Chains A and B, each alone.
Chain A
């Protein structure tokens, strides 16, 4: 199985901050990397697919980058509604695996 490792966790930040979450795959996955946002008691929501493509409806303050084994999700200006847990997921090979999650919490 491909292991997905996220850091940091948790991440303490303030409204207006620029924050970056990293995700590392245990082997190369090209750009077969997706990012999800999950709020308490809710289902995850797809934010970014193919490492850097914004899903319809995702605010432009979110961006993704990377390929191979190293990826990142950046929120340019943190908004109150962005406090949540973020997961990366590889869809390169079966079984598709998720990272352990990064909780973005209020500083």
Chain B
């Protein structure tokens, strides 16, 4: 059974850097085809894809946020870390860690519970 759980600060100040950790079980990020994504959702709004890391350390970022995002993995700890710099109140929302099912098409088949991050001074 695949599970994912996000952890990190619920509150950050504007201009600070946000660091979120996804701890997962039930799959290995060293297995061919494995991938983990981050997706966020502002309160009352739609979902927005942020970043992806593959088993081979290939990384993809949302072009609109690429300069602010870094995604890394620690395969031995079954963790994926997302950092987002220069946080702004518009970055307030729930951040989800998601398992990517390899295939045609790829899809998000397991989601973490999400972590609400508020950006406020």
Seen from chain A, the residues whose Cβ lies within 8 Å of a Cβ on chain B are 1, 31-34, 36, 43-46, 49-50, 55, 87, 89, 91-92, 94-101
Residues of B within 8 A of A31 (CB): 105
| Most chain A CB inside 10 Å of its own CB: which residue of B96, B104, B107, B113 | B107
Residues of B within 8 A of A99 (CB): 46
Contact A50 B111 (CB under 8 A): no
Residues of A within 8 A of B27 (CB): none
Could you list 4 further interchain pairs (A-B, Cβ under 8 angstroms) beyond the known A55-B107, A89-B47, A98-B49? A32-B104, A34-B105, A96-B49, A100-B46
Contact B108 A32 (CB under 8 A): no
A43 CA to B111 CA, complexed, in Å: 6
11 pairs from A and B in contact (CB 8 Å cutoff): A31-B105, A36-B108, A43-B96, A43-B114, A44-B108, A49-B101, A49-B105, A89-B47, A89-B107, A89-B108, A98-B46
Q: Tell me the interface secondary structure of chain A in the complex.
A: loop
Contact A43 B113 (CB under 8 A): yes
| Most chain B CB inside 10 Å of its own CB: which residue of A34, A91, A95, A98 | A95
- The residue on A at minimum CB distance from B110 is A46
Contact A94 B108 (CB under 8 A): no
- The residue on A at minimum CB distance from B66 is A95
- The residue on A at minimum CB distance from B51 is A95
Contact A95 B49 (CB under 8 A): yes
8 closest A-B pairs (Cβ-Cβ)? A43-B111, A32-B105, A91-B105, A98-B47, A49-B107, A34-B107, A95-B62, A96-B49
A98 CA to B108 CA, complexed, in Å: 12
A89 CA to B109 CA, complexed, in Å: 13
- The residue on A at minimum CB distance from B60 is A94
In the complex, B74 has a CB within 8 A of chain A: no
Contact A33 B105 (CB under 8 A): yes
